[in-house]
C-alpha cells in the first residue's frame, strides 16, 4: 500500500478522533497539502507536506508512512515527522495557555446566573 485517502490517514495518524472529524477538517480547509486546500478523497503519498489545524494545535508534518488502520499512539507517531518550526510554535502556544487562564473555560454548558455575573466582572475590567 503506497497511497491512502487523506481523511483516513489523518484518522490513522491520530490527529482527529473520528474519520468524520478528519473529513470535515479537510472540507473546511483546516488541512492543506503543499499549502493548497484539498478534498477528503485526495490521495496522500509518501513525502507530502501537510499543514493541519485540529482546533487545539497547528501541525506541519511530512508523511513518512501510509496506513488506513488506526493503531496505538507509538505506531501512529511513526507515520509522520513534525518540522522543527512546528514543534517550537506548539511549545510556545502551550506555554501561553499555561500562563493565561481563559475566564469562561471552567463553565460547562449553559452559564448559571453566578457564572454570568463573573463573566460580566471580567468584561468590565
Query: Domain limits at 102?
Result: 4-124
pLDDT of residue 88: 93
Among the listed residues 65, 37, 68, 32, the one whose alpha carbon sits nearest the alpha carbon of residue 49: 32
DSSP 8-state assignment for residue 34: T
33 in Cβ contact with 50 (< 8 Å): yes
What is the DSSP pairing of strand 80-82 with strand 43-44? unpaired
pLDDT of residue 8: 93
Burial of 115 (0-12, 13-18, 19+ CB in 10 A): middle
pLDDT of residue 104: 66
| pLDDT in 10s for each residue of the chain, 125 residues | 678 899 999 999 999 999 999 999 999 999 999 889 999 888 998 989 999 988 778 889 999 999 889 989 999 999 999 999 999 999 998 888 888 777 666 667 787 898 888 888 877 76
Overall domain count for the chain: 1
DSSP assignments along 37-105, one per residue: E--TTPEE-TT-EEEEE-SS-EEEEEE----SS---HHHHHTTEEE-HHHHHHHHHHHHHHHH---TTT
Q: What is the largest CA-CA distance in the chain?
A: 58
CATH number at residue 54: 3.10.290.10
Q: What pTM did the predictor assign?
A: 0.75
Amino acid at each position: 500500500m503506497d497511497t491512502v485517502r487523506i481523511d483516513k490517514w489523518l484518522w490513522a495518524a491520530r490527529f482527529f478522533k473520528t474519520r468524520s472529524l478528519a473529513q470535515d477538517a479537510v472540507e473546511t480547509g483546516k488541512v492543506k497539502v503543499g499549502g493548497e486546500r484539498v478534498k477528503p478523497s485526495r490521495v496522500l503519498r509518501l513525502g507530502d507536506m501537510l499543514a493541519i489545524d485540529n482546533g487545539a494545535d497547528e501541525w506541519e508534518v511530512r508523511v513518512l508512512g501510509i496506513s488506513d488502520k488506526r493503531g496505538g499512539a507509538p505506531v501512529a507517531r511513526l507515520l509522520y515527522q513534525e518540522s522543527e518550526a512546528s514543534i517550537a510554535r506548539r511549545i510556545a502556544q502551550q506555554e501561553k495557555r499555561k500562563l493565561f487562564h481563559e475566564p469562561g473555560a471552567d463553565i460547562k454548558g449553559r452559564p448559571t446566573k453566578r457564572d454570568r455575573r463573573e463573566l460580566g466582572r471580567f468584561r468590565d475590567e
